[in-house]
Amino acid sequence: MEGLLARCRVLSRLATHSPQLSRSFPQRCQHCAPGRGQRLVLSRMFQPQNLREDQVLSLEGKLGNLICKSQRLMLQVGLILPASPGCYHLLPYTVRAMEKLVRMIDQEMQAIGGQKINMPSLSPAELWQATSRWQVMYKELLRLRDRHGKEYCLGPTHEEAVTALVASQKNLSYKQLPFLLYQVTRKFRDEPRPRFGLLRGREFYMKDMYTFDSSPEAARQTYSLVCDAYCSLFNRLGLRFIKAQADVGSIGGTMSHEFQLPVDVGEDRLVTCPSCSFSANVETLDSLQTNCPACQGPLTKTKGIEVGHTFYLGTKYSSIFNAQFANTHGELSLAEMGCYGLGVTRILAAAIEVLSTEDCIRWPSLLAPFQVCLIPPKKGSKEAAATELMEHLHDHIVEGVPQLQGEVLLDDRTHLTIGNRLKDANRFGYPFVIIAGKRALEDPAHFEVWCQNTGEVVLLSKEGVMELLAQVQVV
């Protein structure tokens, strides 16, 4: 009964005013047809749509001329809306895609023993002063003071915080290690040039993992485990990536790799060797070097978007905060650390950048905000009789294919032609778009199914549609 109440707005309003009424409710609600309350319809989505290019440019103000493809598309279809330079509202489709990405990241991190935590964004200045990064990163930090005059920054990364957290746990034993602690949180960086939408923001989501091992050998093993988990994530997303040797920058440590999506708009310059697996950020090489340091073959240049970064830190942070554990001899020993970032919001934009055409968004299938869009006929058209068939098909799909619950959207803007709505659907990049055209009135009814990721269009009966959709993977 509670579920029914929540679904039917008429009933839930009545129940608020009269609690005893809720006890006498019938099992079936007369106000909405069975299942209907659960139909997701496009007209009710909070979705500023179909902005023209000039409207998008004006949204971004003076930054307009720096727009890249993913940023323009994301603004045009209402995935994001600028709030201030480098800060964006993430609208419902984006949040859905991001939640899927986070689920995949959780799966990969937990498969290697990761434990999810959540640390405060307000980070006290003392922590940063202890590592000198208050001075080193001063301009990049978004700093603030509380009413007592105490200074903080909004966390741009959390090496200091997590090391102090682990150090606060006394009596840790080698038997408990390794610890692989990670979080998915907002990060804040006062970027000198925020640009390209979610690719370089001042406020963005990052997955950051910090690992604590009992020996350098164990820490190196953990390092390669995390790198493998990153490879698995990008492979599952179907994104071609390069794992490149990288500079350690202000984070420090002794070994580092970047995970890069090769694409021209990328701000990183990379070299790769076509004959062996060597790849590097040019920052790590002598500027005159043209041959591969591993096999001496000629190097090829490309540009990339950095979507992930791994660092082997050693005891750089554990020695400052005294993050220690009792070793096999019962003596205190410093933890060997690693840190590992994934740019969550950046991955969304970068995936759109590499997969989309100039006019149409394409998502990694697993991240598409909705898997299926159904387009019923235009009101008053010859095919209008198929409207009900489409609604039945909708209910049939969500009942018969459990993983597609919440993944099927009905484009109920029936004042528009099918053609117009198909154009929109193509732009949004739903992996499957199903149309009730003329053939829907045949007996048996046939639906036109547009498989966006393969470019195929097939005519299928209801059973055919069900068979096809039963194979769709959802995270």
CA dist., res. 422 & res. 404, Å (int): 21
Residue 306 vs 383, nearer CB to ligand ATP: 306
351 close to 240: Cβ distance less than 8 angstroms? no
User: What 3-state class would DSSP assign to 265?
Assistant: coil
Residue type, 332: L
User: What 3-state class would DSSP assign to 416?
Assistant: coil
* Residues in region 301-320 near ligand ATP by CB under 6 A: 306-309
* Residues in region 24-63 near Mg ion by CB under 5 A: none
Residue in 344, 367, 343 with CA at minimum distance from that of residue 355: 367
* Residues in region 299-318 near Mg ion by CB under 5 A: 309
Q: Smallest distance, Å, CB 349 to ligand ATP?
A: 8
Asked if residue 206 binds ligand ATP (CB under 6 A), the reply is yes
462 contact, one of ligand ATP, Mg ion, none, CB 5-8 Å limit per kind: none
Region of 390 on the Ramachandran plot (φ > 0 left; ψ -120 to 50 alpha; else beta): alpha
Asked if residue 100 binds ligand ATP (CB under 6 A), the reply is no
Asked if residue 407 binds ligand ATP (CB under 6 A), the reply is no
Q: Smallest distance, Å, CB 382 to Mg ion?
A: 58
Residue 4 vs 226, nearer CB to Mg ion: 226
Interface pattern 183-202 for ligand ATP (x via CB under 6 A): ------x-x--------xx-
CA dist., res. 456 & res. 433, Å (int): 11
Which residue is listed with tokens 């387009």? 375
Residue in 333, 347, 339 with CA at minimum distance from that of residue 313: 339
Residues 6+ apart with CB under 8 A from 179: 115, 166, 211, 212
Residue 67 vs 342, nearer CB to Mg ion: 342
Residue 309 vs 346, nearer CB to Mg ion: 309
429 close to 360: Cβ distance less than 8 angstroms? yes
Two tokens at 119? 């640390």
| 271-277-278 Cα angle (round to 5) | 40
Q: Smallest distance, Å, CB 86 to ligand ATP?
A: 7
Asked if residue 394 binds ligand ATP (CB under 6 A), the reply is no
| DSSP summary character for residue 173 | B
308 contact, one of Mg ion, ligand ATP, none, CB 5-8 Å limit per kind: ligand ATP
- Which residue in the set 134, 152, 179, 204 belongs to the binding site for ligand ATP (CB under 6 A)? 204
151 close to 145: Cβ distance less than 8 angstroms? yes
Asked if residue 123 binds ligand ATP (CB under 6 A), the reply is no
Residue 133 vs 189, nearer CB to ligand ATP: 189
Q: Smallest distance, Å, CB 161 to Mg ion?
A: 18
Q: Smallest distance, Å, CB 306 to ligand ATP?
A: 4
Asked if residue 207 binds Mg ion (CB under 5 A), the reply is no
CA dist., res. 292 & res. 289, Å (int): 8
Residue 308 vs 314, nearer CB to Mg ion: 308
Asked if residue 341 binds ligand ATP (CB under 6 A), the reply is yes
Q: Where do the H-state alpha helices sit in 27-122?
A: 53-59, 69-76, 92-111
Q: How far is CA 327 from CA 166, 215, 348, 378, 436, in A?
A: 16, 9, 42, 72, 68
Asked if residue 362 binds Mg ion (CB under 5 A), the reply is no
Q: Smallest distance, Å, CB 24 to ligand ATP?
A: 54
Interface stretch with ligand ATP, choices 6-14, 90-98, 343-351, 395-403 (CB under 6 A): 343-351
Residue 179 vs 259, nearer CB to ligand ATP: 259
Q: How far is CA 466 from CA 42, 43, 107, 323, 395, in A?
A: 22, 25, 28, 55, 11
Count, residues near ligand ATP per rule CB under 6 A: 15
377 contact, one of Mg ion, ligand ATP, none, CB 5-8 Å limit per kind: none
Residue 86 vs 377, nearer CB to ligand ATP: 86
Asked if residue 262 binds ligand ATP (CB under 6 A), the reply is no
Q: How far is CA 181 from CA 127, 160, 222, in A?
A: 19, 13, 12
Q: Which residue is nearest to ligand ATP (CB)?
A: 343
CA dist., res. 105 & res. 184, Å (int): 9
Q: How far is CA 163 from CA 224, 331, 357, in A?
A: 21, 20, 44
338 contact, one of ligand ATP, Mg ion, none, CB 5-8 Å limit per kind: none
Q: Which residues bind Mg ion (CB under 5 A)?
A: 309
Q: Which residues bind ligand ATP (CB under 6 A)?
A: 157, 189, 191, 200-201, 204, 206, 306-309, 341, 343, 345-346
